[in-house]
Structure 1
């Protein structure tokens, strides 16, 4: 039997090596990692399988409807060319390509419940807003914008497990009042840094966008799923739904609206492609749930916090734990799921204000996004940038955002203590 901390470190190394070397599905590496960790820590085989199954089921129940609904909305919009309509409407108010790219990524990542999906949908549109080097910067801004909202704002697959485990007694509005403000400040800062590289206005017809229209002539059909999500919130509150149930209902409402308004051909294709895309994401996240459950079963939480406390203050534990997990395996959602399960009910969770705690974990998911991060390779392929350019334009800006989020969490902790 190996102690939890060295077993965890060895498991992360194995997961990272297999995932990076063989490029197989994260679901298999994470479930395999759960089995490997369980054997190392001498969890009885029958108990190990039961814990893995329970972890899979818990995460599936939490995310299945949310992610499937977001994927269906995204594919319905893509099938009908309505993403270009949405960007064209935003363009009626924003003419600077850098701001347009960043805000488009920021806004689209929320209803589709996936930053990578938002980026892939936006890529052909954003690419044609600039030329050569400027288009690379615009694509990077769209990616960073999608990550800022996806990582900070509730509800997304990153913040939902954190809210369920660490913020169950807090109002979502109280958290989002902080998170939305902070995310907009970060986005503004990133845009200010990058804007000089792409300062020219968007040319008419760029990116195959429809001509910019006044607000009254906006493409209402394209915005309808998002409007349905917003309108479902007060209805769900009036019905007395809990926060967890409300999230399921509003996302399902958005998906139903997108499906109802789609043409028959777009409806069939969108549902098929959406279900396929969602299945890949959901199973990967379920793998994280399996690994998290096995880690908790071994008594890792106490050992991890004790190890971190030996060289850092206890209040830094959420950030450091999330940063280690993020650097090791790359997925922000996996990091959030595992970190939330580890921290729930610990002395660190009791010592730090819940909102500050969530922000510290979120900060860790921004550090350090490099070769283990799937999004890193997607952006690299889209932009054609080399590794040095990706580090300068993607890894370091995200790390800067993470450090600023951590600093904001510290300020909030001081004010709330």
Structure 2
């Protein structure tokens, strides 16, 4: 029970420090990792090294994909590119909330980061008639896509718990599920008509604006079919996609995109590594065994990875770290691989509040209070998590 007490104390302190002082997420989470380790009984001489090792594991897993995605985001900073994409979407999707949800979901995949997708889409979504509905829908859509669509970092980490995982079988369930949730999100969050962006107000690029999005997706799909570089095929594919996107730009714009993407990637990677430090210390303590021991027999076996993922997500806010930590303790469970990944994804979607940097980003962008963000972002995302969890349970029962 010592690890549970340490877990609760650390979680409360993260919430208080985050709300009261708004400290840098890396500093907050790395410090929380050291505090948790000391309270949980990890020797003082080992706790910092353990936290650093946890941060390093996340860096190894995500550095390439986050860098490539951020540079692609930098390419889309080129005047007219984002405007063209959203304008095309507005022709097909009349509600601002649908434009936001689909845009967030699409951008999160090649960028490999829901926060980057939200940052890139928010200036254009702010031009729509129902700005806040579009922004909240984009936040939910990007989190959903980032957490559920293979091969994003969350699904890559979750799939590590299932050696017999089949990407094809998983996507046959995940893709229709994501589409249905996006439709429901767009329908529930707003009813106004999307405002068309006028070419006289914004320089609209040609169809080439879609290439930086479609090229990384095509490369990633090719890597799944033909994994030339083994386990690193997806990362290599995203680098190729990034290089192709940069090649489309003139020299000066290419330099600007690369500089913007590199700076942005550094901020994201540091935040993720801070969460990785906390996740690494949690995994190094007896908390996983204590949690599973407490839950074993109290809840059905199929729900163990879901409940554990919810606890980890509430503690440190990073969906990727939630997937990494949960995969590390759930790999021995006799659960269908597709169901296991869905349940871990549901847990990673479950809590986005004070320990999640994305929560504060949404609040700053919308200008709403934390209470309003809890109501319009956190609670709907919990509903999405519940839907994914139900799909995971059904997959575990019938597959």
Confirm or deny a common fold (TM above 0.5): yes
* Pairing partner for 2:314 from 315, 327, 333: 327
Partner Cα distance (2:223, 2:119) in 1: 32
Q: Decide whether the 8 Å contact of 2:101 with 2:134 is kept in 1.
A: yes
Distance 1:386 1:8, change over 3 A: closer
Give 4+ residue runs of structure 1 displaced > 4 Å after superposition.
206-211
Distance 1:356 1:287, change over 3 A: same
Give the aligned partner of residue 56 of structure 1: 55
What is the SS of the residue equivalent to 2:153? coil
Shift of 1:97: 3.0
* Pairing partner for 2:368 from 385, 400, 403: 385
1:135-190 residue CA offsets vs partner (Å, 9 max, x unmatched): 221221122221221121112232222122x1332122222222111111111111
Distance 1:30 1:96, change over 3 A: closer
Number of corresponding residues: 399
Q: Decide whether the 8 Å contact of 1:366 with 1:402 is kept in 2.
A: yes
2:257 pairs with 1:270? yes
Q: Decide whether the 8 Å contact of 1:52 with 1:290 is kept in 2.
A: yes
Q: Decide whether the 8 Å contact of 1:292 with 1:342 is kept in 2.
A: no
Q: Decide whether the 8 Å contact of 2:25 with 2:357 is kept in 1.
A: no
Partner Cα distance (1:11, 1:391) in 2: 21
Shift of 1:266: 2.0
1:278-297 residue CA offsets vs partner (Å, 9 max, x unmatched): 11211222233333332232
Partner Cα distance (1:75, 1:145) in 2: 21
Shift of 1:88: 2.2
Distance 1:123 1:206, change over 3 A: farther
Q: Decide whether the 8 Å contact of 2:68 with 2:239 is kept in 1.
A: yes
Partner Cα distance (1:371, 1:228) in 2: 32
Shift of 1:245: 1.0
Give the aligned partner of residue 143 of structure 1: 139
* Pairing partner for 2:185 from 179, 187, 190: 190
Partner Cα distance (1:252, 1:5) in 2: 41
Give the aligned partner of residue 100 of structure 1: 99
* Pairing partner for 2:283 from 296, 308, 315: 296
Give the aligned partner of residue 175 of structure 1: 170
Distance 1:220 1:94, change over 3 A: same
Which range moves more in the overlay, 389-398 or 44-53?
44-53
Shift of 1:73: 0.4
Q: Which runs of 5+ in 1 are unaligned?
A: 212-216
Distance 1:303 1:127, change over 3 A: same
Give the aligned partner of residue 109 of structure 1: 108
* Pairing partner for 2:354 from 363, 368, 371: 371
Shift of 1:329: 3.2
Cα RMSD after superposing both structures: 2.6
Shift of 1:362: 1.5
Q: Decide whether the 8 Å contact of 1:89 with 1:218 is kept in 2.
A: no
2:234 pairs with 1:247? yes
Q: Decide whether the 8 Å contact of 1:221 with 1:261 is kept in 2.
A: no
Give the aligned partner of residue 218 of structure 2: 230
Distance 1:381 1:289, change over 3 A: closer
Q: Decide whether the 8 Å contact of 2:219 with 2:241 is kept in 1.
A: no
Q: Which runs of 5+ in 2 are unaligned?
A: none
Which range moves more in the overlay, 108-117 or 374-383?
374-383
Distance 1:307 1:201, change over 3 A: same
Q: Decide whether the 8 Å contact of 2:216 with 2:242 is kept in 1.
A: no
What is the SS of the residue equivalent to 1:111? helix
What is the TM-score normalised by the length of structure 1?
0.86
Q: Decide whether the 8 Å contact of 1:85 with 1:209 is kept in 2.
A: no
Shift of 1:224: 4.1
What is the SS of the residue equivalent to 2:354? coil
Distance 1:235 1:193, change over 3 A: closer
